Amino acid sequence: MAQILQWPLCTLRPQQASANLVPFSRSGGRTLGGIEPSTRTDLGFWSLEYSNIVMRNNRREAWQTWQAIRQKLGGRSGLIAVRVRSSLSAPYVSGRFEPVIEAEHSDDSPFDDDTPYTQGAISVVTDGVTAVGATSIRLRIINADANLVGVRFSYNHALYETGPVTSIDGDIWTVPISPSVRELIPAGADIEFDQPTCLCHLAEDRGMDIDQNAIGKFSLPSVSFVEAVDYWSSL
């Protein structure tokens, strides 16, 4: 995957955030009893909302970052990876939030830019290859709570949500996922549970319009995103 712009959550932090899977179902028409049966398909997509992002007038960095992202995206055509809050359901070993660990190499050296590398508190890998379009996945627990039901994770900025477990074989869990797999996930791939992301477009071309409040000295813009399903379809 080419370098993808990522939303800078530390600089532009929303007061509320939501990520909801929009199901796609087909109607079979109403029956004689007036009931309209629906058949679920695997073509759902994510809808995300960052609400009330605090933009204080004295924080130049925030305004510069906002305007640079808006220019880069150029409306709905641009791509951005949006962080999805998942700590309330994440399978931490302790059962409560655990921060990402910053560490250095064994010789106490950081990366070339003097920053340490990060290691997630949760470690889960895939068991076997998961094909494009698959609606279930086999996950091997390395370091996580032994419950992978109703959790969220991402791989290469493709976001998934698990359902009720269908099989447990030692440390290997087989769970259904939504939406269907966006791109092939190889065997032994590290899955992102700590800070999952979703590849998105702006929901509207003018989705990053913002006002400057000279009286209140701050603004609280909100941004809506939709999953970039077209990107996955083009691969």
Q: What is the pLDDT of residue 114?
A: 54
What are phi and psi for residue 33, nearest 5 degrees?
-80, 0
Could you tell me the pLDDT band of residue 31, with boundaries at 50, 70 and 90?
very low
Whole-angstrom distance, CA of residue 18 vs CA of residue 22: 12
Q: What is the DSSP string of 135-192?
A: SEEEEEEEES-S--TT-EEEETTEEEEE-S--EEETTEEEEEEES--SS-B-TTPBPB
CA distance 140 to 70: 39
Of residues 99, 80, 125, the one with CA closest to residue 194: 99
Q: Is the pLDDT of residue 104 over 80?
A: no
In sequence order, the β-bridge partners of residue 217 are none
Select from 213, 146, 155, 159 the least CA-distant residue to 185: 155
Q: Residue range 47-63: average pLDDT? A: 97
pTM over 0.85: yes
pLDDT band at 101 (very low <50, low <70, confident <90, very high): confident
pLDDT tens digit string along 107-162?
555 545 555 567 899 999 999 999 999 999 999 999 999 999 999 999 999 999 99
Task: Judge whether residue 106 has pLDDT over 60.
Answer: no
Whole-number percent of the chain with pLDDT over 90: 78
* Cβ burial, residue 47 (10 Å; 0-12/13-18/19+): middle
Residue 24 pLDDT > 90, yes or no?
Answer: no
Please report the pLDDT score of residue 2 as a whole number.
63
